[in-house]
Structure 1
Amino acid sequence: MDQPASDNLADLAATELLALYARRAVSPVAVARAVIARAEAREPHLHALYAFAPEAALAAAHASEARWMRGEALPLDGVPVTIKENIATKGVPMPLGTAARDDAAPSPADAPATARLREDGAVIFSATTMPDYGMLSSGLSSFHPLTRNPWDLARGPGGSSAGSGAAAAAGYGPIHLGTDIGGSIRLPASWCGVVGHKPSHGRVPLDNAFYGRCAGPLTRTVADAALAMRAISRPDDRDPTGLPPADLPWLDLDGIDLKGLRLGLVMEAGAGLPLDPGNRAVIEAAAALLAQAGASVTPVPAFLTQEMLDGLDRFWRQRASLDIDALDEARRARVLPFIRDWAAGGRDLSGAAVFHGMAQMAAMRDAALAAIRPFDFLIGPVSPNPPFPAEHASPTNDPARAMHHIAYTVPFNMSEQPAVSVPAGFTPDGLPVGLQIVGRRFDDVGVLRLARAFERIRPALRPWPGVA
């Protein structure tokens, strides 16, 4: 079952808005004003937005309204969206969440995903916040104000798509773009109680592709994630890793039968933090629901090792240390101290150590692909822990264990598989918990179909959070 409907236009799904626009029942201008009012009311508490541009959004909404009135509406015409700060929006600086880049110049062009949304008539009204260089699962940044979780302002929203997750949960419109290189879409989606889709590698073109890096939507519904994917998955030759163009049935979310579906249940990560009992209970209940609906659910042994996770950590520390050491002394001093301390661990690594770390990323890939081979999908936790204190840089708040919370998510970045976090329930403290659904490589539509099937059978969720 879905969460209770709201009578505020800012809370409506993109699918609902498009239907209302088509009937001339609601204007894109009225929706833009509702989203702007929601953001202005909640931003003093949440700090999810960067480069908030209400006047530009209203101008775009008026243009959208005119297209609808002429019968020339585009596929996402009038739907409000936000774009994570590290996905370029023409004219908006890209400081990458760090005060070391506080003088970043305006971006000269839209990134591929931004361009596709604009081409489809979406109303881009703000960028969203992220931590320094996107290297934290936190809303803590040396450049942006501290981003908080709408469900509990004492907790963080996760990251690095911190503002995207908080904005989606708070009702700043229906579609929010994030990026994910180790869990940065799925973790904030889980901790903020929204849907977060990490596509197959190369499915959504990037103009700065890297190992495991993907862009994808954070939304309140699976159907809205599919709408976003239909737009942002269109090809762009700026991405050398992009998949061949494919006319996928993104909006056909009913094409899956739970009966006889083979699901592998990954409850133990094999490395990192232990699974919190509250999170475990929610995921076990979700697996039981799918089994009751006819799916075959089989436990899968842990396939990640601490050596794999540590190797990945060494590789990324060394890369970060090169970036930070290239800065002048004044700029280095502006980088978040946690990031400086974490990156320092990579400064003196030997070439052999870094190569071994990179090899562990490949080992992670092979282990993840082997784990799914007997199954149609894998399911399990997104995160081992509930949302953590907003002021902490990570669940451990320890640079020596900076990646111990991504053991459930990062293998599927390395294996290039699609994975989605879909809201599954709440901890005893009332904090959201997401179920991760992982598909075979390139089966993005299948992952979204299973997520939608689960959406339909899960118990009713709590109303969306207000902000005191």
Structure 2
Amino acid sequence: MNQPLYALSAVDLTRYYRQRELSPVEVVQAVLDRIGQWEPTIGAMYLVHAQQALDAARAAEARWLAGTPCGALDGVPVTLKENIATQGMPTPLGSAATVLAPAPADAPAAARLREAGAIVVGKTTMPDFGFLGAAPSSFHPLTRNPWNPERNTGGSSSGAGAAAAAGYGPIHLGTDIGGSVRIPASFCGVFGLKPSHGRVPVYPPAAARVLGPLTRTVADAALAMQAIARPDARDYMSLPPQDIGWTSLARDVRGLRIGLWLEPTGGWQVDPEVHAAVLAAAQVFEQAGAVVEPVRDWTTMDMRMGLAHFFTMRCRVDLAAMPPERASLAAGYIRKAADIAGALTPEQTFQAFTRIQQLREATVAATQPYDFVISPVSPVLPFAADAINSGGDLPLKDSHFSAAFNQSEQPAASVPCGVSRDGLPIGLQIAGRRFDDLGVLQLSHWFEQATKLRSPWPEPPAPPAQ
């Protein structure tokens, strides 16, 4: 065992538990200690359930000693994004405008993790209503990137990305409606999976909204999927249950046809360091026998503006449902979005919806000839910690490569593919055909093993001398 306990993978933890070489109690305590070391700097946690986690760890320890673990994740520490409801805990949705009230029940993924024996050590942060691919929130203190606290984690699963990089245990669940798992995974140098829409039951369900894991290894994400992809009748948009061999990750890439989506239309360019890292990743696949072909950008400004207008109208509807004094507490970017939506006519709002459908159709058509499509996750490197986007006149560019796959309902992942000159992580997006979640995991695992890019993980600042 050459790693600290908080850094061990879920795969390794369950093996050590089975062999009685480790106790869940000492692992959970190590994770809680790690959270205590990092939190003053990165602020990834909304709630830390220290006593509840230790109590659950003692119960898991007893089950392992009796040879009766309750599931594949028994005793494994996990965190949940704070919009994934846990019974009795408020879900503020990252916003000071939200009325805090205890959740009446666990959301589907939280329930499935507990049934598998996972130990929820706490809830991670997010921006207001999950609206940003960045961290700022009117409710939570600013979450910062462990690789460089002056840089952004991405969003909206901001705390989950930071927690995974900082070593708050092996599995962290986030949600994704336009890149909210993949962008933090890219910015924080971890793996993140956005499954096919409906693969993981979500409550409340919504078009394009999915839930997926952020982990340090692809194998841990696969283990998480084995638990959270189980059915839940509350999600009326979920896929029929399917017996998927989630942990069967071996894959030969020879002969695969892979599309390379790298050059955006619209007169702007991908950051040169991101461009170079993704191009180098494409060459890794080519050298292993895959056929890699450039794919022209199939998205248009009309499609992307349709998406933007639709979500700004959601902000307007959400704020309109609140008393004015509460709505005024929402972040400025939410109130600005609502004001923008106020200028839209009913006809323009309907056109926004139809343009989203055009984006969906175009994405499926453009990617169908390929087994997989690779691209940047984000076209930019992690930007300033307190910024809400990468700036400039193109606010839609931050989710340019990610949001299309939410609308097409295709699985897509972020896997580390490089590091900038300043030590900032760069993520490669791997997207598959709809329902081929296992294929995306397999290709990601192949790339992870072929490149072995992992550098030493970031460490918290040393405590001040006494």
Post-superposition offset of 1:316: 0.9
Q: Which amino acid aligns with 1:338?
A: Y
Is 1:93 aligned with 2:90? yes
Residue 75 of structure 2 is matched in structure 1 by 78
TM (norm. structure 2) is: 0.97
> Is contact 1:322–1:347 with CA below 8 Å preserved after alignment?
no
Secondary structure of the equivalent of 1:283?
helix
Question: 2 CA distance for matches of 1:467 and 1:364?
Answer: 42
> Is contact 1:272–1:403 with CA below 8 Å preserved after alignment?
no
1:259 equivalent among 254, 257, 271? 254
Question: 2 CA distance for matches of 1:349 and 1:189?
Answer: 34
Post-superposition offset of 1:273: 5.5
Residue 371 of structure 2 is matched in structure 1 by 376
Post-superposition offset of 1:401: 4.7
Question: 1 CA distance for matches of 2:18 and 2:287?
Answer: 39
1:328-379 Cα distance to aligned partner (Å, 9 max, x none): 2221221111221122100131111011111111111111111111110001
Residue 136 of structure 2 is matched in structure 1 by 140
2:412 equivalent among 416, 419, 430? 419
Question: 1 CA distance for matches of 2:83 and 2:325?
Answer: 23
Question: In structure 2, do the counterparts of structure 1 residues 50 and 180 end up closer, same or farther at CA, with 3 Å as the change threshold?
Answer: same
1:31-59 Cα distance to aligned partner (Å, 9 max, x none): 00000000011000011001211110000
1:369-392 Cα distance to aligned partner (Å, 9 max, x none): 111111100011000000010011
Q: How many residues align?
A: 460
2:318 equivalent among 320, 323, 348? 323
1:73-105 Cα distance to aligned partner (Å, 9 max, x none): 12100000000011101111001000011x411
Secondary structure of the equivalent of 1:403?
helix
TM (norm. structure 1) is: 0.96
Secondary structure of the equivalent of 1:99?
coil
Question: 2 CA distance for matches of 1:240 and 1:401?
Answer: 36
Equivalent runs, 1:141-160 vs 2, <5 Å: 141-160=137-156
1:172-208 Cα distance to aligned partner (Å, 9 max, x none): 0000000000000000000000000000000000111
> Is contact 1:217–1:229 with CA below 8 Å preserved after alignment?
yes
Residue 212 of structure 2 is matched in structure 1 by 216
Residue 234 of structure 2 is matched in structure 1 by 238
Q: Which runs of 5+ in 2 are unaligned?
A: 462-466
Post-superposition offset of 1:268: 1.9
Secondary structure of the equivalent of 2:117?
coil
2:385 equivalent among 381, 387, 390? 390
Equivalent runs, 1:300-315 vs 2, <5 Å: 300-315=295-310
Residue 190 of structure 2 is matched in structure 1 by 194
Residue 199 of structure 2 is matched in structure 1 by 203
Q: Which runs of 5+ in 1 are unaligned?
A: none
Is 1:177 aligned with 2:177? no
Question: In structure 2, do the counterparts of structure 1 residues 25 and 273 end up closer, same or farther at CA, with 3 Å as the change threshold?
Answer: farther
Post-superposition offset of 1:270: 2.9
Secondary structure of the equivalent of 1:437?
strand
Secondary structure of the equivalent of 1:51?
strand
Residue 295 of structure 1 is matched in structure 2 by 290
Residue 248 of structure 1 is matched in structure 2 by 244
Q: Which amino acid aligns with 2:17?
A: Y
1:454 equivalent among 420, 440, 447? 447
Question: 1 CA distance for matches of 2:2 and 2:146?
Answer: 16
Residue 464 of structure 2 is matched in structure 1 by none
Q: Which amino acid aligns with 2:85?
A: A
Once the two structures are overlaid, the 10-residue window that deviates more, 316-325 or 170-179, is 316-325
Question: In structure 2, do the counterparts of structure 1 residues 372 and 154 end up closer, same or farther at CA, with 3 Å as the change threshold?
Answer: same
Question: In structure 2, do the counterparts of structure 1 residues 77 and 271 end up closer, same or farther at CA, with 3 Å as the change threshold?
Answer: farther
> Is contact 1:250–1:445 with CA below 8 Å preserved after alignment?
yes
Q: CA RMSD in A?
A: 1.3
Question: 1 CA distance for matches of 2:114 and 2:268?
Answer: 40
Q: Which amino acid aligns with 2:96?
A: A
Residue 428 of structure 1 is matched in structure 2 by 421
Secondary structure of the equivalent of 2:97?
helix
Residue 161 of structure 2 is matched in structure 1 by 165
Equivalent runs, 1:342-361 vs 2, <5 Å: 342-361=337-356
Question: In structure 2, do the counterparts of structure 1 residues 96 and 63 end up closer, same or farther at CA, with 3 Å as the change threshold?
Answer: same
1:51 equivalent among 47, 56, 59? 47
